[in-house]
Amino acid sequence: MVLAHFGDELAAAVGRCRNPVVVGLDPRWDKLPAGFRQDLADNYTVRAEAYEKFCRGVIDVVAPLVPAVKPQVAFFEECGPSGMVALANVMNYAREKGQLVILDGKRNDIGSTAEAYARGYLGRGSVWGADALTISPYLGADSLEPFVEVAKESGAGLFVLVKTSNPGGGMLQDQQIDGQPLYRMVAQYVAEQSNSTLGQSGYSSVGAVVGATYPDQLAELRSAMPNSWFLVPGYGSQGGTAKDTAHAFDSLGLGAVINNSRGIIFAHQRPEYRDRFGDSNWQDAVAAATEDMIAQLRAETAVGKL
Ligand SMILES: O=c1ccn([C@@H]2O[C@H](COP(=O)(O)O)[C@@H](O)[C@H]2O)c(=O)[nH]1
């Protein structure tokens, strides 16, 4: 079944869960709980199978708690073909469990190739069936249009990289062009596309990636893209805090979803959870870290009004 409208679906899911947490599925071999690792680290089929089993276990815990998961394609792609099968199985499992699936692939290319990416990834009628996909803006408008067109047809969503969470992103994104940083030009494009994909929630299906590590720009960009969902990475392991994300939300606590990958899925290794849970109770650590993040966001931001 095709999604009616990603922006509205996300608003409904965030409202239902009363929180905007996205759990990032970034499986890493050396961080998996002991029971998942065998002596076959160099066998990528074994790795892929372990990643799938682990991610299914994470989804079992977080599906009743949060609106969406964000599989990171890179960790599955690293495993070759068996990794891509594992990714497809994980995406299907998340959807079966009622989760929206935001695929972090950061795709794009020239227009005709971008169209193939868009048709392959976006919407439930597609082969991959992602509810939303992250895309790069740096090939320009003709590379982005196929994604927007397919998203409109399929009801799926897009998150355009506007101000990324990494320390080096400013090398290009902060460059001044005609008196404004490049990221503001990208934001303007996203705002324009949002106007043509507005849903009943007031939010569009064309959103923006803006890092929690740049709180000032989060505030600035919230005003520049008032109808766009923000996908906010950089929380936890990269240093972003709940307070840092406060300006990403509108006054009702909508408008942004906050991703946390390592900090949740590998919580069993974090000092604050390690002694309580350890490897054998890793799923309880995932639950505790998710619930703690929800509580922090509710205490420090307008999410408390949801
Ligand atoms: O600007 C960006 C865009 C994407 N990411 C991705 O989000 C997660 C973050 O992982 P953590 O473990 O929570 O740090 C990861 O998949 C990145 O590729 C980002 O961090 N920043």
Provide the residue-wise pLDDT of the chain in tens; the chain has 306 residues.
Answer: 444 799 999 999 999 999 999 999 999 999 999 989 877 778 999 999 999 999 999 999 999 999 999 999 999 999 999 999 999 999 999 999 999 999 999 999 999 999 999 999 998 789 999 999 999 999 999 999 999 999 999 999 999 999 999 999 999 999 999 999 999 999 999 999 999 999 999 999 999 999 999 999 999 999 999 999 999 999 999 999 999 999 999 999 999 999 999 999 999 999 999 999 989 999 999 999 999 999 999 999 999 999
Residue 10 maps to a domain: yes
Rounded distance from Cα 234 to ligand 1 centre (Å) = 6
Residue 43 maps to a domain: yes
Residue 271 maps to a domain: yes
Rounded distance from Cα 106 to ligand 1 centre (Å) = 11
- How many structural domains does the chain have? 1
Q: Identify the helix (H) or strand (E) that includes residue 71.
A: strand 68-71
Residue 210 maps to a domain: yes
Q: Which of 77, 73, 142 is nearest to 109 (CA)?
A: 142
Rounded distance from Cα 24 to ligand 1 centre (Å) = 8
Q: Is 0.95 topped by the overall pTM?
A: yes
Residue 1 maps to a domain: no
Specify the residue with its C-alpha closest to ligand 1, atom 19.
233
Cα separation, 205 vs 151, whole angstroms: 8
Cα separation, 229 vs 151, whole angstroms: 14
Check: CB of residue 147 under 8 Å from CB of residue 154.
no
Residue 189 maps to a domain: yes
Q: Tell me the best of 165, 230, 257 to mutate to test the pocket of ligand 1, counting ligand atoms within 8 Å of each CB and taking the most.
A: 165
Q: What is the CATH number of the domain that holds 46?
A: 3.20.20.70
Residue 282 maps to a domain: yes
ipTM exceeds 0.85, yes or no: yes
Note down the domain range covering 135. Answer: 6-305
Q: Which residues are catalytic?
A: 106
Residue 18 maps to a domain: yes
